[in-house]
Chains A and B, each alone.
Chain A
């Protein structure tokens, strides 16, 4: 319940936060909403010496249209996204996923950037961001760079984010006309993280799947794109049968995790079920 002692700095700008992180090096952690970090610190699973608080930075908390893209500041909370018209209108899976994270209290404080940086293998956002073809904007002492969501999640709680970098924004390209999306989740009943979550977006033209994007979370050490499902459905008529057949490829060849809630085998089964459900919902 009681975290270890640490020094606390509240950054007044992203640039200051980057400076502070550089100054304190490995010992420092960024604190945004704190809903991944503080629980770990209370159990002393994580014992940083310095916290740099970026939770107040208005420059990180926004959701807006920029040209054709939707841009979400890393400091936007899950609740901000859940209630954002512009986010919902861009891809409804954004608000669906936001509403399925934790509980109201967690959504009120937890941030998109924090969740992505933490990269919990059972988190919801990674799958949604991959399916949305999002680009993650990072800034560090040497300037800014952008990493595609597909390349961002590199392993178990691991990302392409360098120690001295901050996620500043998430840029989601406008989906083509006729695109609908959905996020479907089988919840771990205690933590309410995903046992399996599937984000899918489908671009439909005359009942045919022009383009499809599918990503899964919860299944293995990191969220990933289900390319084989996409390949199996692209160009096909969006019938129940075709969707179900394509969903069979979900999780193929994946080393699934297992725990007392769901074995490897069951998770792989759920991947198929939830891929189907997400695709069905998106194709409707």
Chain B
């Protein structure tokens, strides 16, 4: 029944036997204790569970843990680098892009996918890229600004480097 999986999560290698029906989000939350990734729905719409698998944003509620075997996973817990916040984390804080915080990890991870593809998105592109993430608190207004903040910061950092 149980299948052995090996995954790298936030740079750390794990190996576990899991029931095939275990969703990746349950594996992260229940087995690894990484509760920063949230579950907000059961129909793959809300995006609260968004993480990066092999660099791409996915809804971890719509992926079995066994499907992630051998993959590189990044969650919100892995975004900061040795205590230095990722520009997106900083952006959400600076621009008040969060209120209750529940959708925030998913928002940040989906935004990370966006900025990877499109380092300088327009407001329209940001809104489209986040169509798979619900926020009930902010009206998205400051989330857009947060992503813009991060885009600017990343492009500045790259210029310096």
Report Cα–Cα, A41/B126, bound state, in Å.
Answer: 31
A42: Cβ under 8 A from any B Cβ: yes
Contact-residue bracket for chain A: 20 to 34
B144: Cβ under 8 A from any A Cβ: no
**Across the interface, which residues of A come within 8 angstroms of B50, CB to CB?**
105
**Across the interface, which residues of A come within 8 angstroms of B19, CB to CB?**
5
**Across the interface, which residues of B come within 8 angstroms of A192, CB to CB?**
131
A2: Cβ under 8 A from any B Cβ: yes
Known A5-B21, A8-B20, A39-B62: A105·B67 in contact at CB below 8 Å = no
**Across the interface, which residues of A come within 8 angstroms of B61, CB to CB?**
1, 42
A88-109: CB near B (< 8 Å → 1, else 0) gives 0000000000000011111011
* B58–A105 CB distance below 8 A: yes
Report Cα–Cα, A104/B107, bound state, in Å.
Answer: 12
A235: Cβ under 8 A from any B Cβ: no
* B21–A109 CB distance below 8 A: no
* A105–B57 CB distance below 8 A: yes
Tell me how far the C-beta of B109 lies from the nearest C-beta in chain A, rounded to whole angstroms: 9
Interface residues of B (CB under 8 A from A): 1, 3, 19-21, 23, 39, 42-45, 47, 50, 56-59, 61-64, 66-67, 69, 110, 113-114, 129, 131-133
Query: Given A5-B21, A8-B3, A39-B44, 5 other A-B contacts at CB below 8 A?
Result: A35-B44, A53-B67, A104-B113, A105-B110, A106-B44
Interface residues of A (CB under 8 A from B): 1-8, 10, 31, 34-35, 38-39, 42-43, 51, 53, 55, 79, 102-106, 108-109, 190-192
